[in-house]
Structures are given as C-alpha cells and as structure tokens.
Chains A and B, each alone.
Chain A
Amino acid sequence: MSVLIFVDQSEGHIKKASFEALTYGVKVAEQLGTTAEALVLGSVSDDLASLGKYGVKKVHQVNNASLNQLDAQVYAKVIAEAATQSGANVVVFSHNQTGKAVAARVAVRLKAGLVAGACALPDTGNGFVVRKTVFSGKAFANVSITSAVKVISLNPNSYTTIASEGTAEVNQLSIAVDTPKVKVTAVNKVSGEVPLTEAEIVVSGGRGLKGPENWGILLDLAKELGAATACSRPVGDAHWRPHHEHVGQTGVQVAPNLYIAIGISGAIQHLAGVNRSKVIVVINKDPEAPFFKAADYGIVGDAFEVVPKLTEEIKKLKAK
C-alpha cells in the first residue's frame, strides 16, 4: 500500500501544479498511514532529489525520450505499470491539461474509481470520500470511491503547497515505453505570459473596456502584479483577446488567490468559472452590476480612470 504522485513536467521543468499534487499526496499517505512516492516521466533538468522537501521519500523516473512529448496512451501505460510495481493503491494527478489527458486512462488500466477535479483531502473515516467541484464551481459533490485502487486528480490552486527540508532518493525505473501514435509537430507558447490556470493573480476584462485598443491599461496592471490576463466570453468571441483567455462556465475555470474583474457584469456563466478565486475585486461603473454580489472588494467607477490609478498605487507598494 502506498500513494503514487504523478509529477508533470514541461521542457524539463516541474510544473507548479505538481508541487500542490505532491503536498496533497503526501497528506493522503499520512492519513492512510503509508508512504508517498513520486513518478516523473521523461528527461528533467530540475533536481529531482529536492522533491523530498514536499515529503516524498522516493522519486521514480522513467527517463525515455519518447516521454518528453505527451501521448496519453503511452503515458497511461507507463504510469499504471509504475503504480502496480510500487504497490500504489492511490494515484494522485493534478487536474491540469496533462492530468485531464492521462488520469482517466490510468484509472481504466488500474480498474480504479476516479475523482477528477478534487478540491479537498479524502475523508477516510468511513470508506474513501473525495470532495470535488461540480456545476463549474457552483457546488461541491462528495464522491465515494468503491474500488480497491483509487485515482484522484486535484484541481490546480485548490491545495496550498507546503515545502520544508528533505531530499528524496531518485530511482530509475525500467519500464517499456510504446511507440507514440501521437506526434507533436509544433509547440506555440505565448512567451513571457503567466499561464492562466497556474496564475496566483488574474486580471480580467469584459465588454466594459469597449474595444481591444483599450487593453493597455489592463496589461499594465497585470504586468505590475505579475498576473495572467483573462476575459469574458463576448470579448473572446469578438476576438478582442485570444480565445484561450475566455474564462467562465464554457471557458477556462480558474481559482487564483486574487481575481480582478474590470468592466465585467458578472453573468452567472462568468461567475461559474471564477467563483473559486480566494479574493475577488470588481471594478465596474454600474453599482447594480451582479458581480458586486460575488465580490470581496469593489470600486464603483470608470475603469479608464480607476485602473491606471490602481497600477500606480501597486507600483508605490512594490517600491516600499
């Protein structure tokens, strides 16, 4: 019995969401009175032994060049085999892009019940019950896993990373890797931007900004805060902003520490994608905008005046 945590990497670097998954998986293992081990696929330039600071004693690596690109089928086979070899009865993923591609397949291979999008530690008092977000963040469901092996994928930004001292033993696993049927031919990363789903702070704009030419004030604010940028659906639909920035029930769901909504009315479909944010700030000139009901802080005012002032004040704070 043990917990295996899948650690996701991109271009040799471990993703932030994986540190959360590690912290979570270690806690699950503590709860079950067992140990937690990590699994990394492909070649990694980060120091794997240092993952010990999240509480894992062992990091398994399958260092095969075929694993530097994601083919969910190939990944799943390797992860399921590693889980079986290490005797894992719980496998933890982040519910990020890779997790969404792979966790379900691993669950099938292990004939394991899957809770996708978990947001809290399992209740192991009586069975094994995991809380997840449903209705795009409008509610939670407590889901019981009844199979012997369990797979959990953890919503990004829903579990705080804890790091202390520690080094892990790095162990090379030799597991056969199939030839991928998916061939990645191009990768287009928007350079210099904070990925939306990993961001601590998100600055988001709506139709209230009137047109793409006015986005400068929002981008300045985002830059000052080191924030990712997002938008409402009509803004994405009108191509004022790239569609991957569209958040909401039918777009990306985010849960940052701070969500700043500028000129967004706060329609129910928009709120569904952002209401798990820890702190919500709304800037809207209409005091009746529904978003204020879901906000922690608000300014009733014209975005074109308020936002540049906000950027200035943040600059002052940073200068202190």
Chain B
Amino acid sequence: MKILVCVSKTPDTTSKIAFTDGNTKFDENGVQWIINPYDEWYSLVRAIELKEKDPATIVHLVTVGGADTEPIIRKALALGGDEAIRINTDNSDSYYIAAQIAAIAKDGYDLVFTGKETIDYNGSSIGGMIAEMMDAPYISLATKFELNGTTATVTREIEGGEEIAEVALPAVVSCQKGVAEQRIPNMRGIMAARTKPLKVVEPVAADALTAIVSFEMPPAKAGVKLVSPDNVAELVKLLHEEAKAI
C-alpha cells in the first residue's frame, strides 16, 4: 500500500489577516505558519495509523511550494511518514497545483489523502482535480476511513447526515474531523524527521487558469446593541422588526 498525503502551509489560525501592495498580496509580516490543520490532524495521522497497522505501507508527503515550506514539511515528517516531496513552485492556481500533485500521484500510489480544504483559500478543490487527472474515484469530506485490501470503506458527510460508501482503489479522499485524532510530535519523531529524505522536484508544464486580482476585508460591524437580561422581549422585538431575522 502506497499512500500520498498532500500537505500545505497555512497561516496560523490566530494570524492577523491583512494585505499589502495595494491589497494584492497577503501580508506575511509577523505571520506564524502551520501545517494546514485538516492535513495535519486528519489525513496525515490516518496515513500514519494505517502504516502502524501494516508496516509494509509506504507513506509519502507531498507539498507544492517554495523553500519556505520546508520547516512545515519537517514538522509533518516529525509526526510520521517515510519521505517528503516538495514541488518547487509558488503558483497558487488550483488547476496548476493539482496537475503537479497528479504527476506524482500517478506513480503507483494506491491512495491520495488531502485535507477537506486549506484554511486560507478554502477551495476544497485540489482533491477532486487530482482525482480527475488520475481518472480515479474521489470521496470528499470523509469522516471515517477503513482499508480492506483493494477497496476502502469511507464515511462521508452529506447534507444533514452521513453516507457510507465502498470505493475501489486507487482513490483520492479528502479528510476532515472524525478520520483521526490530532497527535503531538514527540522528541523521537522530531529527531527522525531531520534525516528523512526531502526530495525537491521541479514542476511539470501545466496551465494556470485563475489568478487573484485583489483582496478585500469585509465591512466592519456597526457595533453590538446590548439588551438587558430582564428585557428579553426587547431582543425579540428588535430581531423581528429591525433585523427582520425572525
């Protein structure tokens, strides 16, 4: 079993969101970078668990980004995985990124894991694109994942519930809460990560079909209207008459 886990770098969840260069670039000043939580907590940990169950399993991590992503990959390797591949490009178009990962994924992987989305661009689209490029099935928004030989049983989120599906491998699966439990890297893992192979490969030729033109912040709230706890009727009146929300 060969598993490819997609890992990406995102700003820490408490980062101040601001933009520079006439609102065309994310302001990285003072930003702490983390592994995208969905990648770290769920897909990576699940892949590691599968390897713990069957040590013959090979787990490779892949990321698309410049040299500045390497601390994040080392952090991911400290949790587990045999080696990492960094595809050296800064392009941020999802089609372009998916084409890079698909080029690697076609190299004999049985399973490709992604997080359900990245917490910066919230596209939720890389997994589906990779799957289409590999001509493989795709299960999105998985909350449970079990392997049974050449098929997998996956529970996925649907509106107002969940669905259990069986899928033939190779397949691409996007993971979210439920698939695994977050782990904290230990000292042994951190030491081991230092010497694990981190291959850098150049991107394959692919088109970028979108580009970010500018960013905007949402309009600020007008400020809270406080109502006394002894006058709850007033709140209901405001919600009904002023806000027209009920």
Contact = CB atoms under 8 A, between A and B. Distances in A.
B133 to A, nearest CB: 6
A138 B17 contact: yes
A144 B211 contact: yes
Nearest to A195: B160
Q: For chain A, give the interface size range.
A: 35 or more
Contact of A146 (B158, B165, B171, B209): B209
Given A72-B137, A104-B98, A310-B236, 4 more contacts: A97-B141, A108-B98, A250-B37, A250-B41
Contact of A142 (B136, B212, B222): B212
Contacts, number: 282
Interface string B169-197: 00100000110000000000000000000
Q: Interface of chain B, helix or strand or loop or mixed?
A: mixed
Chain B CB count within 10 A is highest, among A108, A186, A298, A310, for A108
Contact of A139 (B95, B209, B215): B215
Nearest to A294: B221
Contact of A97 (B159, B215, B226): B159
A317 B237 CA distance: 9
Given A144-B211, A250-B37, A244 B157 contact: yes
B30 interface: no
B132 A109 contact: yes
Interface of A: 10, 15, 70-73, 76, 95-97, 100-105, 107-109, 111-117, 129, 131-147, 181-190, 193-198, 201, 225, 236, 243-244, 246, 249-251, 253, 257-258, 268-269, 272, 275-276, 278-279, 281-282, 292-302, 305-306, 309-310, 312-314, 316-317
Contacts of B17: 135, 138-139
B128 A251 contact: no
B232 A309 contact: yes
Contact of B160 (A134, A189, A297): A189
Interface string B1-31: 0000000000101100101000000000000
Contacts of A72: 128, 131, 137-140
Interface string B103-124: 0000000000000000111111
Contacts of B37: 249-250
Given A10-B159, A189-B160, A144 B245 contact: no
Contact of B143 (A10, A143, A243): A243
Contacts of B133: 108
Nearest to A184: B165
A190 B132 contact: no
A251 B177 CA distance: 8
A113 B211 CA distance: 9
Contacts of A189: 158, 160-161
A136 to B, nearest CB: 6
A244 B176 CA distance: 10
Q: Interface of chain A, helix or strand or loop or mixed?
A: mixed
B164 interface: yes
B129 A134 contact: no
Contacts of A309: 232
B245 A108 contact: no
A96 B159 contact: yes
A146 B210 contact: yes
Contact of A104 (B126, B160, B166, B167): B126
B211 A143 contact: yes
B236 A313 contact: yes
Contacts of B212: 141-144
A134 B120 contact: yes
A297 B126 contact: no
Given A108-B98, A187-B163, A317-B236, A117 B124 contact: yes
A114 B215 contact: no
